[in-house]
Amino acid sequence: MKRRGICLAAALAAAVAAGCSSESGAERAGSSPPRPAAASAVTPGASSGARATAAEREIPAVLTVEHEVDVVAEHDGEVVELAADEGKKVEAGGLLARLDGRQVAAALEQARADLKISEYNVKYNEAELHANQARLQRAQLMFNEGLGSKADLDTADFMAKGSTYDLESWKANVEKHQAEVHALELEMDKTRIRAPFGGMVSRRYVRQGDVVTKGTRCFRVSQLSPLLVEFQVPETDPRKPAVGETVRGTLASDPNRSFDARVARVSPVIDAASDSYEVTATLVNPPADLKPGMAVRLSWSAAFSPRP
């Protein structure tokens, strides 16, 4: 009896404790009700089927120019003079370097002398033809008057025709030597390395005393302006750049320095490797210290249409 009473008392105490715990839990739940789910922000006036978001991304690029070429030697020879160095501004056709052209110069001098001899022979044969034509006229008159023989007339006619052929031969010789002189003058000019357009020498690959061959890279000449920037836009991007549109860029070395560029060309061809097309923009009034080859970043706002 005593043991049964103890068990009943313990069970009653456990029931009372469970009721108190349940009540305190309900009170806690009532003091902190669950929060409602946050409503998604919707742009006023935008329908649920036509919503779009915009993402700003940076595109790395490099400043460039329309014309930048490596100037190569057009003749074999030793570099005997350097007329321009890196950083020098040059005009179109300006001398960059000169190669040893003594052999070409000697051949050109000989060709000019041969041309002069041919020209003198032309003058001599013109005078000789004039004299033989006069003899032919006299022989013809004498033959008509019965004072000359047919043999004398034939001889005079032969001499006149021979002088004509000699004159034409020497005239052809003059043209031949003129062509030789012109070809050697071109060869002589090839011993002078010149700038193909106005700009600045950005690289020099040769030194005085170097022996170069035809096709050797000697200088790099860069156009100073206008500065361009080329970047690629994915073909799947719904935002298509238009000619005349302005994009903003910053220097990779100094993000605080920005510039504007206006789209000048949009390539009609898609690059299969990157699935993108190239866009070329011209910098608008760039600072004087911006130069080709500088790394930049372009800000491009790309619009993405959500899935239906």
Least confident of 11-20, 184-193, 195-204, 284-293: 11-20
DSSP state, residue 72 = E
Q: How many H-runs (helices) and E-runs (strands) does the chain carry?
A: 3, 14
The residue among 308, 224, 304, 305 whose CA lies nearest residue 57 is 304
**Amino acid (1-letter code) at residue 255:** P
Does residue 96 contact residue 74 with C-beta atoms inside 8 Å? no
Does the structural domain 71-99+197-222 have CATH classification 2.40.50.100? yes
Is the pTM of the predicted complex or chain greater than 0.75? no
Strand pairing category for 227-234 and 53-65 = antiparallel
Strand pairing category for 295-304 and 276-283 = unpaired
Strand pairing category for 192-194 and 95-99 = antiparallel
Q: What's the pLDDT at 234?
A: 87
* Residue with more model confidence, 114 or 223: 114
User: Of all residues in the chain, what percent carry a pLDDT higher than 90?
Assistant: 54
pLDDT in tens, 147-202: 888 898 899 999 999 999 999 999 999 999 999 999 999 999 999 999 999 989 98
Q: How far apart are CA 7 and CA 293, in angstroms?
A: 93
Predicted confidence band of residue 111 (pLDDT cuts 50, 70, 90): very high
pLDDT in tens, 187-232: 999 999 999 999 899 899 999 999 999 999 999 998 878 899 998 8
* Domain spans in the chain, listed from the N-terminal domain onward: 53-67+225-304, 71-99+197-222, 102-190
Dmax of the chain from CA atoms? 191
Q: How far apart are CA 247 and CA 264, in angstroms?
A: 11
- What is the CATH topology of the domain spanning 53-67+225-304? Elongation Factor Tu (Ef-tu); domain 3 (2.40.30)
Q: What is the 3-state secondary structure (H, E, C) of 177-213?
A: HHHHHHHHHHHHHHCEEECCCCEEEEEECCCCCCEEC
Q: What's the pLDDT at 53?
A: 43
